[in-house]
């Protein structure tokens, strides 16, 4: 196996069925540079997962067993020494990595410049019965605060302060707020892990290894990103430590007593000493202890954490082993609050009282006393309901098994709905139509017929000579009259220019005639040869025009002043990586001019739904609705669609170029439209310059490094 990019570490005890399920789903990954470390901390040999690991088909699996049974935190630290990947991720044994997730994570890491922390959220699977965790159940697709866009950066120090302040309780946090920065919902770069170990002695500390590693990681990291898509699914069980400690005082005490030193050593160091029936007190312990032990500087709000401790022990439905335990724990908290400064104690009591009064009570009363909501006629609601159910975004769905749920989750082409609740039928970070390196080969084959060949044939051009090329160029720039002004305004005579995706060479020749130096890169052989012929005809150097991938440019860092890519990056299958390459090769102050397809154009609002429907009904030659959409935008002389096409919104475009200091996004281009069965034409040229600026086909992105 090649060097591991990711180490997926499973510290486990007595959960062989969960490990079996995790390995089965991991076998579906389409990323081959990962390793799996299973650290089996069993006490009962009958519950070992050693044989399950041996029977697994994963060639990159490492099974280890501690020399003796360890506490939970020690087992997590023990497992780390067996990981070798550039990024390390820990997973509890009820968490399963979604197929295709590692490729999405890899893309985001590369596009973001190898951040020290990468975070993601988790979907949830709620089994119908705890007797069968992987049987029938409800799959819940979670929402990320990082949307729109494939990922967004966050400041580790600010996140640590937010966590320490405890502005909301664990139950009130969004999925992103709960997961952000945690190693069990993300990955840490290897050098960050090594710095944590060197400075703090270990990656994990008591009580909660997921929180202690998060505090230490956020305290040292400088760069971090969170993904917009969930990468794992967690099964809700009745045997998780968090759930048991949150509901049962006996389970909470037993959990503390199982850690190194036992409950007697841990309880005196809690935020509220002796209070073991509040999970919030467990988490607060980690913040308080690490802050005190290592002199960490982050904000900590004691009143907020005390409010959540109060809510934990007064929550209805708690399982108290003895009324005396309940009375003792509640009295313990009350006495601790009373021992604080008067102002602090009063603020705690005031916030408890405030949160005990439902905030919605006033608005609910007004709603009940107001007029009834006006509703559509019943016959219309019945007519529309099935359509709305088909079109509505699915936050959750029922499935006969967890395996079936995961398969449906991955197969689905519709991403989670946006925060505004709108359905978006395309996934910017979706799977390639042709996977991995095969997409590169498919693109090289498809685009070997240079983009613009159909236009050349329509003009009767079949040869490469100065007259024919001049005629083609006149027609090309008449179709796109706004293209040259984007470039001519950038002082071309002083610019070192790189064009990626050269097509028929019109733009490349225009640039080469005007700029200080020109280089061109294309994935296919024919466009490269065509542009070399063009440059030779006008006496310009040709050695700068070469074959190469937009995702791995054969260009030195900071070596160009202008990066131009018109209609190329949305075909690569990894726009994020393409933008990262543009950023890499640009010198400080350099500009990028990039065109990608607009997700919210008039064509996509009107023509695309029709094409999808006709494809489903078999009235188009396209094999799938997605192929029909790709053919609407590009096709070769044989009528075939390109292997892959992405569509980007204005907001997503700005997110893609977030590393640039200034970004402008313009909508351009428009369609001809035929009305009244072709008797009435709406010419595209009538709409250029006004309507295309609202609903144009393309996005032109001008960014400065």
Q: Give the pLDDT score at 457.
A: 92
- Kindly state the tokens that stand for 189: 């770069």
CATH superfamily of 437-600+642-704: Vaccinia Virus protein VP39 (3.40.50.150)
Q: Give the pLDDT score at 460.
A: 92
Percentage of the residues of the chain whose pLDDT score is greater than 70: 86
pLDDT over 90 at 686, yes or no? no
Q: What is the CB neighbour count within 10 angstroms for residue 365?
A: 10
The 10s digit of each residue's pLDDT in 183-219 is: 999 999 999 999 999 999 999 999 999 999 999 999 9
Torsion of CA 641, 644, 645, 646, to 10 degrees: 160
pLDDT over 70 at 421, yes or no? no
Q: Give the pLDDT score at 678.
A: 56
335 vs 686, more confident: 335
Separation of alpha carbons 662 and 645, rounded Å: 26
Q: Where in the chain is the domain with CATH 3.40.50.150?
A: 437-600+642-704
- Kindly state the tokens that stand for 640: 């075939």
If phi > 0 it is left, if psi is from -120 to 50 it is alpha, else beta; for residue 295 that is left
Q: Give the pLDDT score at 619.
A: 56
Choose from 400-414, 551-565, 570-584, 602-616 the range with maximum mean pLDDT: 551-565
Separation of alpha carbons 159 and 298, rounded Å: 10
Q: Give the pLDDT score at 693.
A: 86
331 vs 603, more confident: 331
Lowest average pLDDT, out of 215-219, 433-437, 534-538, 647-651, goes to 433-437
SS3 sequence of 528-592: HHHHHHHHHHCCCCCCCEEECECCECCCCCCCEEEEEEECCHHHCCCHHHHHHHHHHHEEEEEEE
Q: Give the pLDDT score at 605.
A: 80
Question: At 614, is the pLDDT very low, low, confident or very high (cuts 50, 70, 90)?
Answer: low
Query: What would the mean pLDDT of 419-438 be, rounded to a whole number?
Result: 38
Q: Give the pLDDT score at 121.
A: 93
Query: How many CA within 13 A on the CB side of residue 694?
Result: 4
Q: Give the pLDDT score at 380.
A: 41
Separation of alpha carbons 290 and 556, rounded Å: 44
The 10s digit of each residue's pLDDT in 157-177 is: 999 999 999 988 877 787 888
Q: Could you tell me which residues are beta bridge partners of residue 34?
A: 6
Q: Give the pLDDT score at 612.
A: 63
Separation of alpha carbons 269 and 267, rounded Å: 5
Lowest average pLDDT, out of 171-175, 297-301, 340-344, goes to 171-175
Choose from 24-33, 83-92, 430-439, 621-630 the range with maximum mean pLDDT: 83-92
Counting every residue, how long is the chain?
705
The 10s digit of each residue's pLDDT in 369-378 is: 333 333 444 5
Separation of alpha carbons 282 and 170, rounded Å: 12
Q: What is the CB neighbour count within 10 angstroms for residue 471?
A: 15
Mean residue pLDDT across the chain: 85
pLDDT over 70 at 617, yes or no? no
pLDDT over 50 at 419, yes or no? no
Q: Nearest Cα to 226, choosing from 185, 173, 192, 174?
A: 185
pLDDT over 60 at 415, yes or no? no
Q: Give the pLDDT score at 147.
A: 57
Quote the pTM value. 0.59
pLDDT over 80 at 625, yes or no? no
pLDDT over 90 at 656, yes or no? no
Q: What is the CB neighbour count within 10 angstroms for residue 248?
A: 17
Q: Give the pLDDT score at 428.
A: 36
Question: At 122, is the pLDDT very low, low, confident or very high (cuts 50, 70, 90)?
Answer: very high
Query: How many CA within 13 A on the CB side of residue 379?
Result: 0
Query: What would the mean pLDDT of 3-22 be, rounded to a whole number?
Result: 95
pLDDT over 70 at 416, yes or no? no
């Amino acid at each position: 196996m090649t060097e591991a990019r990711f180490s997926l570490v499973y510290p486990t005890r007595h959960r062989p069925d969960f490990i079996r399920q995790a390995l089965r789903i991991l076998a579906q990954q389409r990323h081959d540079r990962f390793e799996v470390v299973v650290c089996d901390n069993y006490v009962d040999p009958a519950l070992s997962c050693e044989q399950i690991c041996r029977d697994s088909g994963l060639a990159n699996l490492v099974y280890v067993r501690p020399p003796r049974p360890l506490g939970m935190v020690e087992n997590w630290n023990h497992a780390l020494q067996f990981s070798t990947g550039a990024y390390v991720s820990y997973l509890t044994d009820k968490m399963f990595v979604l197929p295709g997730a590692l490729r999405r994570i890899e893309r985001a890491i590369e596009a973001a410049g190898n951040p020290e922390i990468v975070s993601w959220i988790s979907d949830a699977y709620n089994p119908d019965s705890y007797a069968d965790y992987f049987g029938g159940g409800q799959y819940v697709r979670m929402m990320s605060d990082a949307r729109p866009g494939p990922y967004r950066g966050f400041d580790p120090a600010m996140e640590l302060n937010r966590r320490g302040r405890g502005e909301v309780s664990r139950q009130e946090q969004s999925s992103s707020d709960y997961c952000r920065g945690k190693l069990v919902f993300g990955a840490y770069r290897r050098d960050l892990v090594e710095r944590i170990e060197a400075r703090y002695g270990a990656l994990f500390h008591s009580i909660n290894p997921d929180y202690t590693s998060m505090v230490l990681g956020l305290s040292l990291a400088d760069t971090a990103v969170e993904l917009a898509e969930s990468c794992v699914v967690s099964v809700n069980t009745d045997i998780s430590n968090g759930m048991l400690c949150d509901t049962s005082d006996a389970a909470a005490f037993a959990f503390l007593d199982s850690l190194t030193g036992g409950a007697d050593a841990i309880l005196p160091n809690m935020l509220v000493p002796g209070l073991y029936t509040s999970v919030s007190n467990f988490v607060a312990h980690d913040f308080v202890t690490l802050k005190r032990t290592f002199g960490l500087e982050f904000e900590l709000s004691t009143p907020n954490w005390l409010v959540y401790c109060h809510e934990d022990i007064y929550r209805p439905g708690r399982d108290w082993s003895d009324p005396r335990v309940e009375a003792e724990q509640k009295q313990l908290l009350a006495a601790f609050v009373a021992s604080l400064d008067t102002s602090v104690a009063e603020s705690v009591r005031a916030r408890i009282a405030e949160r005990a009064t439902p905030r919605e009570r006033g608005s609910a009363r007004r709603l009940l006393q107001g007029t009834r909501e006006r509703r559509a006629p019943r016959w219309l609601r019945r007519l529309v309901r099935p359509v709305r159910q088909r079109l509505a975004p699915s936050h959750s769905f029922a499935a006969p098994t967890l395996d079936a749920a995961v398969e449906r989750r991955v197969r689905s082409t519709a991403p989670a709905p946006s925060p505004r609740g709108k359905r978006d039928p395309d996934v910017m970070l979706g799977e390639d139509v042709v996977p991995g390196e095969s997409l590169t080969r498919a693109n090289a084959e498809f685009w070997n017929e240079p983009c613009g060949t159909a236009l050349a044939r329509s003009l009767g051009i079949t040869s490469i000579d100065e007259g024919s090329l001049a005629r083609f160029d006149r027609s090309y720039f008449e179709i796109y009259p706004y293209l040259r002004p984007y470039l001519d305004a950038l002082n071309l005579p002083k610019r070192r220019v790189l064009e990626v995706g050269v097509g028929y060479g019109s733009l490349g020749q225009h640039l080469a005639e005007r700029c200080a130096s020109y280089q061109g890169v294309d994935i296919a052989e024919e466009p490269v040869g065509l542009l070399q012929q063009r440059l030779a005809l006008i006496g310009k150097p040709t050695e700068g025009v070469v074959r190469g991938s937009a995702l791995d440019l054969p260009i030195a860092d900071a070596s160009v002043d202008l990066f131009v890519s018109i209609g190329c990056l949305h075909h690569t299958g990894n726009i994020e990586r393409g933008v990262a390459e543009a950023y890499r090769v640009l010198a400080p102050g350099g500009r990028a001019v990039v065109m990608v397809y607009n997700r919210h154009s008039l064509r996509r609002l009107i023509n695309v739904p029709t094409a999808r429907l006709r494809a489903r009904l078999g009235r188009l030659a396209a094999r799938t609705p997605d192929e029909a959409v790709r053919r609407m935008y590009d096709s070769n002389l044989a009528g075939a669609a390109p292997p892959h096409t992405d569509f980007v919104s204005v907001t997503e475009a700005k997110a893609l170029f977030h590393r640039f200091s200034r970004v402008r996004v313009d909508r351009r281009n428009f369609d001809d439209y035929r009305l009244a069965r072709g008797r009435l034409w709406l010419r595209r040229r009538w709409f250029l310059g006004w309507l295309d600026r609202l609903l144009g086909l393309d996005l032109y992105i001008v960014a400065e490094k």
